[in-house]
Structure formats: C-alpha cells, structure tokens
Amino acid sequence: MNPTGNLHDRAAAALRRCGASAPALDGAHTVTSPIDGSELARLHPARAADVDATVAAASAAFGHWRQVPAPMRGRLVRRLGDLLGEHKSDLAELVTLEAGKIPSEALGEVQEMIDICEFAVGLSRQLYGRTMPSERPGHRLMETWHPLGVVAVISAFNFPVAVWSWNTAIALVCGDPVVWKPSEKTPLTALACHALLERAAGDVGAPAGLHHVLVGDAAVGEALVDDPRVALVSATGSIRMGRIVAPRVAARFGRCLLELGGNNGAIVGPSADLDLAVRAVVFAAAGTAGQRCTTLRRLIAHRSVVDELTERIAKAYSGLRVGDPFDDGVLVGPLIDGRAHAAMRTALERAELDGGILVTGGDAVEVPGDGVYVRPAVVRMPAQTDVVREETFAPILYVLTYDGFDEAIALHNGVPQGLSSSIFTTDQREAERFLAASDCGIANVNIGTSGAEIGGAFGGEKETGGGRESGSDSWKAYMRRATNTINYSDDLPLAQGVEFG
C-alpha cells in the first residue's frame, strides 16, 4: 500500500522540482484530483487580453526563431529531452495526480515525450525538400520547406503531456513558437513542462517567448482559434469540439490539425491466437479506465470463438484491481469526473434497451474520498446499434458477432469515427485484406488498438479529423512548402512550349 497522502502537497513538491512555482490557492480556476476529489490548486485563468498579448509575444519570437538554422533549433529540443528524462518521475506523478493514470502508464506517457524529442532532434537535419526535373533546359525545379508561424496546441485531459510534446517538439525544430492551452482539468502538468522548456531555452540561448501556456476555459481556446496570427491550430478533443474549431479556422484560411473521437474496433478471426488476443484486448479496453482516444470499444469476434473469447475476457476483468492509482497492484484508476460516470451509466442503459447483455462490470467501486471508480464493463450486443456507433469515453467493451469476413469489415467500418483498428488472426490473407480495408488512420495486426509508437504518424480519418501528429512526415503540417524554379541559362523558355515574343 502506498498511501496517497496530501495530494496538494505532492503536486506542489513535484512542480517545484520541475522549476515551476507552487500552485496558487487564491485563483478562480479550481484544479481537483480525480483520485479523491481533493483540491490541488486554484489558479488565475487567462483573460482575452492575455491571449492577445501572448500571441503577440509568440509572433515576435517567430521572427527570430525562423532565422535560426534547423539543426541549431534541434539543440533546444535535445536539451528539453534531457530535462524530461531528469524529471520523469516528477512529471509522471503530476500526470497521476491530475489525470488519475496508474504510475506505469504515467511514466509511459512521459517516456513518449522523451522519445519524440529524440525523433525531433534527428528530424532537425532531415527537413528535406525535393529536386524535380524541369522541362526547360537550363532550369532547376525544386521545393523547399519554411517555418509556418505560431502554433496553438489545445490538448485534452487524458494525455496531458504526450500530445503536447508530439506537437511542440516537432513545431520547435520546424521553426514555430507554441502557445499551449491545456485541458482545464490538467493545467499543472502544463506548468511543469513549460518551466522545463524555459530552462532548456535558457541553457541553449534560444530567444525568449518561444513557448507560452494559457490556463483557462473554452473562451481562451476560442480566442486562439479565431486569431489570424495563429498559423496552425492543433486541437485534440471531442468531435463536437472539432465541428466548432474547423470551420472557424477555415473561415480565416488558417490551418487545422484535428485529433478527435475514436470508436476503435478489433476483429478476432477463427484462426486467432486467443491467448494473445485476450491480453491485448484487456489492456486496450480497460487501460486508463477506458479514457484513451485509442481505447478498444468494439470487439468483433467470429461466431466460432466469440463465446470462449468473451468468457476469457470476463475472467481477466474479474482480476483487474480498481482503485487509487498510487496503491500497489491497481490497474484501473478513476474516471476523470462524475460526468464521465453518468455517460457510462446512460450508455449501458441504452445498450440494455437495444438487447445488450451485461457480461461483467459496470458497477461503481467504493474508494475513500470523492473520486469516481467503476469496474470495466463487457456487453454482448445483438447488433451494432446507435449506442455502439457512438464513442462513450469510459471502459465499455461491446462484443459483436460475425460469420463472414466481409460482414466483419462492414461492422468494423460502420461507425463515423476512424482512428485505430486491429485484427487478430494467423491467416495472412485475412490480415492483408484487413490492412487494405480498414478505414482508420491506424491498422494493426495481432496487437491492440492502443499503444502507438512515436515513429509512425498518429491520427485518423472520417470524424476523427484527418490530422497526423508525431512521426513519419507529420512535420509537414508545421511548415509551408514553396516550389522554386531557378533559371541558370541565358535564355527564357516558357513552360509548356508557350510562345510570347
């Protein structure tokens, strides 16, 4: 047993070790821990005037930072990665305090930050353009990439630091300052990260004003979305939020990078290794108390294996310890708040009305304090009804049955969201057909839907928003492309053979 103790004091101590000021206790914005509902801080939220001044400062910094060679910009991110490694346990503790993740998951999230810094440092020497053959003699045709401008990052509570780092490490090496609006539920992690980044900037002599944090409500986010000086808005959140953000940014011809809802499905074929599938499904569906965008929410199992598979998953669920994430042996921590619990109860009621059968879980777990704890639920469904097609941000796994592979693909793709997907099979043809047919941004074989690595581009299609963050060529979202034609001849031939003489 590792007693929680005074959570406010623990948060304050972790912040101080990261170089941030102790959390205020006299502001209008109250930060509470989902672990027991206790108060962590009362912060002073940003106002509209603060947003204007912050974006102005970031815009001024852009004028300097864009002139710094990209490999030199990489020095800042390298130093940030070093500091994140030094303060890994402090940041992980803040993630657990604010988001309720179990320590191993919190440490994993901070490791993602370190990993993306390493990736971005290498990227700082690989912002490659292309040289293309010109149809005109004595001419060279090429493309070059240039810093874009101020990047606004609007992040969600469930990954309070990793998603920020995916954007910020890449944006900084691309030459862009960052203004970060963290979730109102997890601002302390943002203050700690900001302090470490400022220290890194001082250590390498980077210009001031490259990074800013704005703590506040939706009005702060709206001000960033509408500001024409913000070149790119990278927003993570609900589909409803994306429907608001996208047209407003488009109206001013800005750029959007959206990471929205996920209603992720996994197909389990008749040839699947069920031992492997059960382990993967349990982590993907119950990890982080079902509060990942990549959480497995729909299990589409072949009729020949569905009964055994469901029984084995239910048995595994019965061994999951739910409780205070700081307690030894706990694998499922709290829901973020009572609203999440209410949404879960409503979804389970709707599933029952649709003919669903609750196999296990769904009940509340009593834990000292005012946190909200539930047992992850498994529900057998007769069909993919409306409630199954909607994302409920809670640990509910709907089990569906199929007979033919085409039916499985139709069920899998028959939702509005398109983030992550997987199949469990030892049939190579099935695996290849699935990779070609899945309409998601992420498609896996014999692993779950969650646990993406930073080397690949992260994001989804359809109502997930189409954005890509982290690895591969996601960096292109943070830069602008120019096509250049250079005439090194003494003549002036026109393209397509046009004569104008």
Residues annotated as part of the active site: 259, 293
User: Is residue 406 classed exposed, middle or buried when 0-12, 13-18 and 19+ CB atoms within 10 A define those classes?
Assistant: exposed
Neighbours of 289 (CB within 10 A): 30
User: Is residue 369 classed exposed, middle or buried when 0-12, 13-18 and 19+ CB atoms within 10 A define those classes?
Assistant: middle
82 token code pair: 């070093």
Dihedral (Cα; 397, 111, 331, 266), 10-degree rounding: 20
User: What are residue 179's phi and psi, to 5 degrees?
Assistant: -115, 120
d(CA 273, CA 425): 7
437 token code pair: 């047919």
355 token code pair: 């003919």
Q: 7-17 and 88-99 are packed helices; what angle lies between their axes, rounded to 10 degrees?
A: 150
User: What are residue 399's phi and psi, to 5 degrees?
Assistant: -105, 120
Q: 239-251 and 218-226 are packed helices; what angle lies between their axes, rounded to 10 degrees?
A: 30
Amino acid at 10: R
Buried b (16+ CB within 10 A) or exposed e, 19-49: bbeebeeeeebebbbbbbebebbebebbeee
DSSP 322: B
Nearest to 189 by CA among 220, 158, 167: 158
Instruction: List residues bridging with 210 in a β-sheet.
Output: none
Are the C-beta atoms of 41 and 28 separated by less than 8 Å?
no
Q: Rg for the chain (alpha carbons), in Å?
A: 24
d(CA 493, CA 73): 40
